[in-house]
A and B are shown apart, each in its own frame.
Chain A
Amino acid sequence: MFELDVTRVQGEFSLEVDLRLASRGVTALFGPSGSGKTTLLRLIAGLDRPDRGRIAIEGDVLCDTATRRFVPVHRRRLGIVFQEARLFPHYSVRGNLCYGMRDEDPAAVARISGLLGIDHLLTRMPNTLSGGEARRVAIGRALLSSPRLLLLDEPLTGLDGARKQELLEYLAALVRDIDIPVIFVSHDPQELLAVADDLVLLEKGRVLAHGALNDVLARPELMSRLGGFDISAMLSARCHRHDARRQLSELRLSDGQMLELPTLDVEPGQWLKIQVRARDVAIALEPVSGTSIRNTLKATITACQPLDDMASVTLVMLDAGQQTLRALISTASCEALGLAPGMTVQALIRAVSLARPAAAPALADQEVP
């Protein structure tokens, strides 16, 4: 468990945070700029001291103002990847990777660089790397210092779409592979959906919400903060079979409902997390025919909520086999269809943004055979 209970005042701004984070998995620290993410990160790293509070990892106290304990930065053993890669320009990629290692361990370097796809860059100098490559080296360097926690500060900021997607995939693979908690700082809802298990929502130096990603996402009052128009839902589904002729993969939700996606590179039986943007979901009262949309899920409406900043658009929260799905439709059609909580409707899914392998969800136990 990672315990974090700190207060720090910086001029006008004050940070007051009290959190217990899981020992495993990815916690996204999410909030707009100025919400205190960087301040919190610097406190965790030991680059700043809290005015009051305590930070402990697995019972090992890093900082406690009550007992005046303060472990200096270099003895905290936390892997921190800053927004800018901060590679040392006078060391090669290999030199950077090995900087934080106590003993040279070529096997570890080979394993991590293979995992991050940087094994062909080892002899290069940092200023010859692309932005995405430099970030991956920075992540590898942090990991090789055998940290007890990995802290990623907006690691995708400033990368273009393709590089971002690429790094996101490396990150998703990485966090499944490593056995330490990861804190992922971000202000982009799309990023955290792709990798996070838990979500901490930070605003003006306070924790607004903390919990499992889907639980926090399911709270309509937080919706405008979590990306508004771009909001998505993550569904767990299992790859059922591949259809080579039509180049489609068939996925099943835990309640047996089916989705078809362009062929995925996973084994049948593998669980996946798939991201569905709310604006890619439409609603029909009855099963529809004569449409180009192939994916339809039967779902129950749990809430209808016009957007705070755009009342002409309504967010409909749906329950599809105990998983939350969201749909953004115009308020006018919501009224015309007479949508209300408790109604069973058809959710038409125009597109799935992202699918990544994931562990089986807790729900899987109740799976319908």
Chain B
Amino acid sequence: MLTPLEWEALHLSLKVAGVAVGVSLVPGIALAWVLARHTFPGKSLLDGLIHLPLVLPPVVVGYLLLLAFGRQGVIGQWLARFDIGLPFTWQGAALAGGVMAFPLMVRAIRLSLEAVDVRLEAAARTLGATRARVFVTITLPLALPGVLTGMMLSFARALSEFGATMTFASNIPGETRTLPLALYSVIQSPGREAAAARLCLISIAVAMLSLLVSEWLARRSRRRMEGRDV
């Protein structure tokens, strides 16, 4: 059904977006929790910093990543000691996608954490639960629909990432050529409208599918949180 090249791009896209979401999930929940439940000096600054990728041109983000993780970059030099180089690798593409998708994830999780009734948490504490247990047994399960929404949004965003990936990880077939980059390459050369259309359709199908799956999951977990039968 799909050509080997299309398979490769699809597989790479799913891998890159999946890793991006997986790696950013824990820091995303942690930051969302900090922003939802705490006030501290510099909170708006942190909030702004997290939202930056949402408003910056993706190319700028890619360039900044290159500066930080490149061979001369501060983090890049440190990583080089462990023989890790991120630019121009699929891990680099995942990093670019993850950074671009991060604000969407934090936003959705933060909103759902803010909606969790702190009085339930207080009740759990009076029943002998430590803060950690309250978070795991009360806060997180009640915020789960929002966490799932955040994961879906950031997955879709990482999947569609183009500018930052192009700048930071480049367009290497089999390594960083995800669906959007493959499409870009195809439309660069004339007479390949059919191939472009096919890649378009694949992108739409993947996006729709992830949307539907996450909606279903969120509805299911919301129903369980509200105590109705699943």
Contacts and interface: CB of A to CB of B under 8 A. Distances in A.
Kindly state the interface size class of chain A when it binds its partner. Answer: 20 to 34
Contacts of B127: 74, 99-100, 141-142, 145
A125 B126 contact: no
Given A77-B128, A78-B126, A88-B120, A127 B228 contact: yes
B123 A86 contact: yes
A50 interface: no
B126 A89 contact: no
Interface string B191-230: 0000000000000000000000000000000001111110
A271 interface: no
A75 interface: yes
A205 B170 CA distance: 69
A45 interface: yes
A363 to B, nearest CB: 38
Interface string A75-95: 111111010101011100000
B225 A90 contact: yes
Contact of B122 (A47, A78, A102): A47
Given A89-B142, A142-B127, A127 B120 contact: no
B119 A84 contact: yes
B59 interface: no
Contact of A86 (B120, B137, B229): B120
Contacts of A80: 123, 126
Contacts of A77: 128
B178 to A, nearest CB: 37
A126 interface: yes
Interface in A159-191: none
A11 B172 CA distance: 64
A128 interface: yes
By DSSP majority rule, is chain A's interface helix, strand, loop, or mixed? loop
Nearest to B127: A100
A281 B226 CA distance: 50
A29 to B, nearest CB: 17
A93 to B, nearest CB: 10
B226 A127 contact: yes
Contacts of B131: 74
B161 to A, nearest CB: 34
A73 interface: yes
Contact of A74 (B117, B129, B137, B228): B129
A45 B126 contact: yes
Contacts of B125: 47, 72-74
A141 B124 CA distance: 10
Nearest to A151: B126
Nearest to B138: A88
A309 B6 CA distance: 87
B141 interface: yes
A9 to B, nearest CB: 21
B185 interface: no
B44 interface: no
Given A86-B123, A88-B120, A89-B142, A125 B228 contact: yes
Contacts of B138: 88
Interface in B107-154: 117, 119-120, 122-131, 137-138, 141-142
Nearest to A98: B127
Contact of B129 (A89, A99, A127): A99
Interface in A125-157: 125-128, 141-142, 145
Contacts of B117: 86
Nearest to A89: B227
A80 B138 CA distance: 18
B130 A74 contact: yes
B229 to A, nearest CB: 8
A142 B127 CA distance: 7
A73 B141 contact: no
B119 A86 contact: yes
Contacts of A72: 125
A74 B121 CA distance: 11
B116 to A, nearest CB: 11
A311 B123 CA distance: 46
Given A74-B130, A86-B119, A90-B142, A126 B124 contact: no
Contacts of A78: 126
Contacts of B130: 74
A263 to B, nearest CB: 41
Nearest to A125: B227
A72 B125 CA distance: 9
Interface in A93-137: 99-100, 102, 125-128
A90 B143 CA distance: 11
B146 to A, nearest CB: 14
Nearest to B122: A47
Contacts of A142: 126-127
Nearest to A124: B227
Contacts of A74: 125-131
Contacts of B142: 89-90
A82 B123 contact: yes
Given A82-B119, A89-B227, 5 more contacts: A73-B125, A74-B130, A79-B126, A99-B127, A99-B137
7 contacts: A45-B126, A74-B131, A100-B128, A126-B227, A127-B226, A128-B227, A141-B127
Identify the 8 closest CB pairs spanning chains A and B, nearest first: A100-B127, A125-B227, A86-B123, A127-B227, A73-B125, A80-B126, A89-B227, A145-B127
